[in-house]
Chains A and B, each alone.
Chain A
């Protein structure tokens, strides 16, 4: 069965410093992986997705993630944090392609300090 583990429930960075949000996954086949962001009291917005093309995936707002099969990881990074990046981030794996069911991690809250 597929599963997702976000290794940090809370990450705090200073504005202008790099962001690293860690995610490990478990899947019996080559998965589709996603990162979604949720700002307070808002819905979920897709940041980026990996679907077995390039292992380095670029997303919106300067975020990117690298798929590492050997480490079963899909960590999210950004070179320089902005105050507007403060939000909850979810790492997600697609369970079975023909139903598209998503398995969510528990989420990582990103705090950005001025």
Chain B
């Protein structure tokens, strides 16, 4: 099992550019999450999904969109990147035992 994987690992964008981060899990989990991590602030929830075809807003959803067309994939989109979105992004999926498993992260820099 690969667990939770994220693509890409690193990315540099210019202000106003768009991009999509891909998260994939092979554990057949229903629940998936996108977080961002900023220094001194822990992780904050951006969006989450409780199943294929469903998404919901988390704590900091502005400027992001998500889609869950397939159970194993959860996509995070930035339509018009801003420097405030410079961060490390983590995806997670949740088992039936209420444990979240995290991917390795994507380090995004917006210039």
Q: Among A49, A51, A101, which residue has the most Cβ atoms of chain B within 10 A?
A: A101
Closest-CB distance, A3 to chain B (whole angstroms): 11
- Which residues from chain B contact A111 at a C-beta distance below 8 Å? none
| Secondary structure type dominating chain A contacts | loop
* A interface bracket (residues with beta carbon within 8 Å of B): 20 to 34
Indicate whether B63 reaches chain A with its CB closer than 8 angstroms. Answer: no
- Which residues from chain A contact B97 at a C-beta distance below 8 Å? 51
| Residue among A32, A46, A51, A90 making CB contact with B42, cutoff 8 Å | A90
CA distance A34 to B94 in the complex (A): 13
Task: Report B71-111 residues with CB < 8 Å from chain A CB.
Answer: 90, 92, 94, 97-105
**Given that A32-B98, A101-B48 are contacting pairs, would A43 and B42 also be in contact in the complex, using a CB cutoff of 8 Å?**
no
How many chain B residues touch the partner (CB < 8 A)? Answer: 24
Closest-CB distance, B59 to chain A (whole angstroms): 8
Closest-CB distance, A5 to chain B (whole angstroms): 11
- Which residues from chain B contact A94 at a C-beta distance below 8 Å? 98
Q: Once the chains bind, are A105 and B94 in contact (CB under 8 Å)?
A: no
11 contacts between A and B (CB under 8 A): A34-B99, A45-B102, A46-B99, A90-B43, A99-B31, A99-B50, A101-B48, A102-B33, A102-B43, A104-B44, A106-B40
| Given A9-B40, A101-B45, 6 new contacts (CB under 8 A) | A43-B90, A43-B105, A45-B102, A97-B98, A100-B48, A105-B42
Which 4 A-B residue pairs are closest in the complex by CB-CB distance? A104-B42, A44-B102, A43-B104, A100-B94
